Structure 1
């Protein structure tokens, strides 16, 4: 038998034996993932000693939980002579199980949590992960004996209460449980069964960390209970948790009093009919082994033949296989957490139309709220997406490695059940084009705000071009790909078309020109050549659009019959650059600042890429009143057509739309 067949057989047998054990175990109590919290830190990420201590701590938790130890807090420090709280290497950890879950059931959940927390938060300075029956966590601060009620999370079921009296009764029942747990000297948890009617019951659970005092436990639980009316008052089932305590109520009995190890397999010497059972098991295992050997042999034969023919093995895109599709040099480096599909579904009401923010080339975008209250925008790759898997991978690879206040922040991703979802921070003020080209909303963009947006976009591009770990060319900078946060700070988004450059690389060429008409540099649109100067051109177009409040494509279709760029050049040469500005803004603008920005915009859209300034020079020009600006040359000829998709996207977007992606694919001429 080949080595591969033997390996496959061994794995298959291990799989069968594991599931025989887990079937018995999970029938009694199966851990169910709830949520996780992860706080990252560049300083701690680069601290190899701290990361090593985290790994050692998780190993200790795995080992200690198997002993049934009640000492479930520990501090680990690689520096044995100094373990004070200020040492940057110290990591503090803890684990706990729900009070009714002990023995192997507790250990099984803890083991699952240890594996999951390492995946969900590979570079965290602190992290916690909750299952329905256990919790583990670690931090660089000693929280033992301290009350931590923030951050807090809540989860709810789907069934609604009949009226407000149900909430009042549920709160009273849980308050009774709090009284019980704080009154009993040697207990930090309590469960209770409550009769609501002849046919209806409720089941409750409360628990505090074992190191809290009774007063601290009461304070923590009362604080969690106070949150219920706001977060969960309309639901029959709800749970609220914090780092120090938690509680849950449901109309289904979710707890038990299993305290022994999982039942062992039948003993042939003690049970009647055991020999028949043993024979049946042997036959079953033999058949499974035979099937496994046959399957592995067929797989090996087909794989060998297909590889010899140069064929491609098609795989379902799962978290692991997705990473396999990404070149090693573009790996995630553990920077991007995965968010369970169930959490995203719950936060978006299962991708409800009422939660939909808009539709772009990538697919629909939904607003959601994570259990910790974080508002998100979930971009879901659709099967009919104009952007495909390559663009999806591109966005994940780049945005996971890029961190800047003027770039949209990617919180996580999801690759489950053939879903491919990117989860971003939610931008309450939508995209720039939603305000800039709207007859009513553009009035709220006074000159001070417009100038701030221009400078923010410039800083974001400078980071991409020169200051980021990668040298990145965005290739699709436009008004709809600039998002605005709650303070109207601009954040560049949509890195599906981005490309990385070597530090000494000037430009590259592509046969597949992808972008948006009106923003593409002439050398890119005509010959497929792109460089950092391609982004500079797009930035120049955007600057002129922000100043005049007119879209380049729309301007061509107006009575002027030429692009906004050429018309601006005409006015510049005639000394009439301010004529296009909306009279509404003449009350707020500073003429010298407007003229400087028009000048910079014209420098950025010059036909010859070599004549355009770099973004470092642009940022310096925007930030100084004394820099002498060179004289611009005539802009490139640009029709600036707007695709029907972009127009339709603008019409269909909602007030809180996150993005209105428009992709136009043309062939180089």
Structure 2
């Protein structure tokens, strides 16, 4: 059985499609190849096997819903090693029905092909399916690689044209939902080349480019001068085949009685399609009293009639496919153009919704503009962020920013509905969240009583899950960089929604840190390595979350805490009480002693772990979520918290007092992308 541990060796599979097998529609699609993990296995009836069943059902449901690509994670908060990640990708030019059938076949056969394997990849003609106990989302992977080729040869000139064609295709394709390209090339008068390439849609443009050009670079090693070839990797696939009907008379001679099939050396190799059966030519019986010459005439007549029928059928099929290809190409181009345009609001509509930005519709004001409530014609409430004209964003850059943020969708994130450009205005339109921001309740002595312990726990858990999504589950790793109470909005049921992704720094999935010359954020919530040196990472958001958690359980702002006589900061005060065994003194008096002491102390403990001075010692958000949801997980002893500033400093360097009732000033900045 092929193993992922043998992935350092490029697996090779040789195959040849006979003319007859191309004409015959298969009753059931068999996998082209599959790879299992031998060393990483589960046991029958285990939690992992149960989670795998849930994962495969969810993936099937996604295919039933008509999705061409999907990624699903089934998490296990008790034992993270039982967490399982899965995805499927269908060929970009097949129908939803064909995609569904392929995924259903794949999920049914995967566990039979690789029983008890924790990691499995299986490739079909129409789709590929993969699952593993480690996350592979948005990650470029080139191994294991499967080679497949046709034994028939091209001429030197035809092979040169093929190489140029494949390199051009690899340079044209882009990542995203339409990371698929199919083309035809007339190599010569008698030969037409059909080819396609496809990347996993969650890859960046750079990773997609790298994967496809890497695969094209391997073609001379596996498929040099071959009329057909495929290269299958976990992150991308490519395939080309000379149309078997074009130049049929000039096809290479094949012994139809014993088809030529070349197999690779002994294992290790991935499993391939079953060896085509030996096809015996029909035996034409000679009737009694008839000479053998009559049977030859009958044979010739049958061959001629069959050739005419096949030619007519192929012509019709070719014209139909070309028509569909043109239609699909039109729809693809149209979709790319409509993708961003569908998010664009008309300025007249926005002005009408906000009563021309009337003062009574104003919700707040930040460093980068004002926020207004609006009501569109259908009665839907929206929030409109009116960016200041000095924000300095180019139109295309702004549109790209919007397209990116609009893809970030999670129940604990404020959803971006669209944008508006025109008339000198730059506007962002968000969903309207009913109950304002968390600081509106938390730091107001008259309103904080509305946040009982159960609501605060719900808010803490929701914020943690939202940040976890940004760090690990979104298409790009997103670092928020300005997580604070005023950037957490509450809906009608007090569910938290994180807002303001404008300050988020986008980094490649293989990078977890970066640096910047311009510090954006709010002092008191910023990690020391970011505030002092401009170094940020996912652990910067963990620090901000720890500050916010301590604020939520204590009902006290970290900013301005130095003005009290207790300690230089809320973090220092919490650390002091925790070490003295008096952590319960930190509890918000408005909770009226109805908070379970063990739950409160666990939250304080987790908060102190998040605000440790050494970023390396801080937990990841996935660990934080597990700590919050699983009481049986033991917590390590926290180290001393980091240095913290108890005041807000704006970009100009001027000190500002932190208002206890108003929301802090925020704004939108350009997110940046770093190569992986």
Shorter-chain TM-score: what band? 0.3 to 0.5
| Greater percentage in helix | 1
TM-score, normalising length from structure 2? Answer: 0.47
TM-score, normalising length from structure 1? Answer: 0.48
